[in-house]
Amino acid sequence: MRVLVTGAGGYIGSVLVPMLIEDGCSVVALDRFFFGREKLPNESEKLKIIEEDIRFFSPEILKDVDAVIDLAALSNDPAGDLDPVKTWSINYLGRFRVASLSKIMGVRRYIYPSSCSVYGFQEGIVDESSSTNPLTTYAKANLKGEQDILRLADDKFVVTVFRQATVYGLSKRMRFDLAVNGMIKGFFTKSKIPILRDGKQWRPFVHVKDTSKAMILALKAPKERINKEIFNIGSDEQNYQIYELAKKIADAIGIDFKYEWYGLPDHRSYRVSFRKVKEVLGFSPDYNAEKGAKEIWSALKSKKVNPDDPKTITVNWYKSLLEKSVFV
């Protein structure tokens, strides 16, 4: 199978691409590479790397592509609110363009990685049939993309939406602006976990390798099981309240639990059911937050990861690119 991955040099893409190749796929990796090209393996018979923008690339790139995994986006809520016009331009219009061109060019499968952030604030446990309540530009653009891209699906063009839980874990394009990863960095650099107020908010989590595994499962699944379907990606056991999660991480890496509050109270809070993806795709995670924490802690201690790399805080890196007029 020949798979085009947009956003291939990003946090998830740089993990997904090698996993696809190991699984036997050939990959076309498309990205603007704001965070560097070195995050991906070298080009080979199995990997073609293209530096392009999803809003402007030639449709010919999609020729002979069997499936698209459309990861390209300005990631997370703070980055999305940094320049809302650019967020809508890339996260919604750009990915709708990718999906539309994919259908025209005869691509058979399209996976739209969205986010559980579309649930916003919810009481109780939500599933794929629950109402949505996006609170940020990032979440609103994701939801609009879901709605319009699903309408493109037909018997010849299989569209699947993945609402991913908050991702964590090691990646060559490392991020420390994600909850689990940021907590571990806080312990490492300040001996205190930073916790977003007030710590009672619920959030689901999934390891970067596990969400990548789910995408590969979807590429192989019978089309009648996944076409026009939305799946929450994560596991019921990894719905955590943020304060309790911080305690679990401290215990996992063997550090005294010390913390400091930051930010205004988080208005996002949601617990999510992941029953559907387990039943339909047979998905179950290989990681939990404790295992992921140990992995990152070890990488920091061995200096395989630099906690001071400015590229690991997405919103700050985007600000520096905007100041240099890199974005169009």
Q: H/E element holding 122?
A: strand 121-126
Give buried/exposed letters for 247-278 (b at 16+ CB in 10 A, else e). Answer: bbbbebbebeeebeeeeeebebbbbbbbebbb
Mean pLDDT of the region 246-267: 91
Q: H/E element holding 30?
A: strand 26-31
pLDDT score of 265 more than 90: no
pLDDT score of 141 more than 90: yes
Distance from C-alpha of 208 to C-alpha of 210, rounded to nearest angstrom: 5
Length reported for the chain: 328
- Quote the tokens at residue 255: 């550090």
Least confident of 75-89, 100-114, 188-202: 75-89
Q: Could you tell me the residue ranges of all domains in the chain?
A: 2-171+203-239+267-286
Distance from C-alpha of 71 to C-alpha of 12, rounded to nearest angstrom: 8
User: What is the separation of C-alpha 104 from the centre of its chain, rounded to a whole number of angstroms?
Assistant: 26
What amino acid occupies position 17?
A: V
pTM of this prediction?
A: 0.95
pLDDT score of 169 more than 80: yes
- Considering the domain 2-171+203-239+267-286 in this protein, what is its CATH number? 3.40.50.720
pLDDT score of 87 more than 90: yes
Least confident of 173-177, 263-267, 300-304, 305-309: 263-267
Above pLDDT 90, what percent of the chain? 87
Q: What pLDDT is attached to residue 83?
A: 86
Distance from C-alpha of 253 to C-alpha of 184, rounded to nearest angstrom: 9
Q: What pLDDT is attached to residue 251?
A: 95
Q: What pLDDT is attached to residue 172?
A: 95
Average pLDDT, rounded, for the chain: 95
Q: What pLDDT is attached to residue 322?
A: 78
